[in-house]
Amino acid sequence: MTQEFINKFKAEQRNRGRLLINCPDQPGIIAAVSKFLFDHGANIMESSQYTTNPEGGNFFIRIEFECPELEFKKDELKAHFEEIAETFRMEWKLAPVSEVKRTAIFVSKELHCLHELLWEWQSGDLMTDIAVVISNHEEARPIVEALDIPFHYIPASKENRAEAEAEQLRLMEEYRIDVIVLARYMQILTSDFVAAHPYKIINIHHSFLPAFIGARPYDRAYQRGVKLIGATSHYVTDDLDEGPIIEQDIMRVDHRDQVEDLKKIGRSIERSVLARALKWHLEDRVLVHGNKTIVF
């Protein structure tokens, strides 16, 4: 069923490409890029741009284009684009939309976020290959394997962290992973692991950051008597809960809600926030600028 959705998507999108650019702002960038696409027979279908400030700022653009025979022309396009990229000192990426990203999900014992992602994926609403699920517990194995997704149990503790991460890194390579989702994984990753996947690891934190950074946010929200609780999805960097925020949302609570109620309500927010953040990442809508994101 899911593979059907993916195949249908790939067929429909076979001529659709995406071009992402980040460079110092200067006049003429759009003129050059759009002339390039036009000269190569590509028609711009969607384009979002942002310049951080009028003078000496950074320029960001995300373009979706239709280009007949894209699969045969993509290498040529990339090769020819090099010249423009150098002229404007661009960081850039040009890729067919049909090259669906490969996702690894890391999970612990709390399965609600995993479950949401699997369900969205089965419904065809999350366009990715879920290539592997990794957990330090066995709870997730049945629902993962029932969907024919490889499941790897890797115990994680302070003692075996180096060993566990080595195994995880090996699996990321084996499964050719493009994006890692920490779906309530609850384990801290080392700097080395994070550095190996810059802005490729998406976490869900169960609070409205920067409120309640760190452990037990629902307990602390309860103690503080807040009237709204939230969740935050962000890229993982070396600083705990300090990476660029992709998406946040909240729900209303009141004095009758005990910690357990906050957790229940929170689960629902975590699920939708993480699913939205991942969806945007998969569609290349999220560009990182310093410690912030631009979401096109």
Please state, in angstroms and rounded to a whole number, the distance separating the CA atoms of residues 279 and 116.
Answer: 12
Kindly tell me which residue out of 166, 186, 226, 282 binds its own copies, with binding defined by CB under 8 A.
226
What string of DSSP letters covers 27-72? TTHHHHHHHHHHHTT-EEEEEEEEES-TTT-EEEEEEEEE-TTHHH
Closer to its own copies by Cβ: residue 164 or 250: 250
> Which amino acid does the sequence have at 87?
T
Nearer to its own copies, 30 or 282 (CB): 30
Closest approach of its own copies to the CB of residue 169, in Å: 29
Pick out residues in 23-62 that bind its own copies (CB under 8 A).
25-31, 34-35, 37-38, 41-51, 54
**Residue 254 within binding range of its own copies, rule CB under 8 A:** yes
Active-site residues: which are they? Answer: 241
The whole-angstrom separation of Cα 3 and Cα 280 is 20
Cβ atoms of 139 and 109 closer than 8 Å: yes
* CA pair distance 278, 76, nearest whole angstrom: 30
Cβ within 8 Å of residue 243, ≥6 positions away: 203, 234, 235, 236, 237, 291
The 98-137 contact track toward its own copies, x by CB under 8 A, reads --------------x--x---x---x-x------------
Residue 245 CB, shortest distance to its own copies, in Å, is 5
In the complex, the residues that contact its own copies under the rule CB under 8 A are 25-31, 34-35, 37-38, 41-51, 54, 66, 112, 115, 119, 123, 125, 146, 208-212, 224-228, 230, 244-250, 254-256, 264, 267-268, 272, 289, 291-295
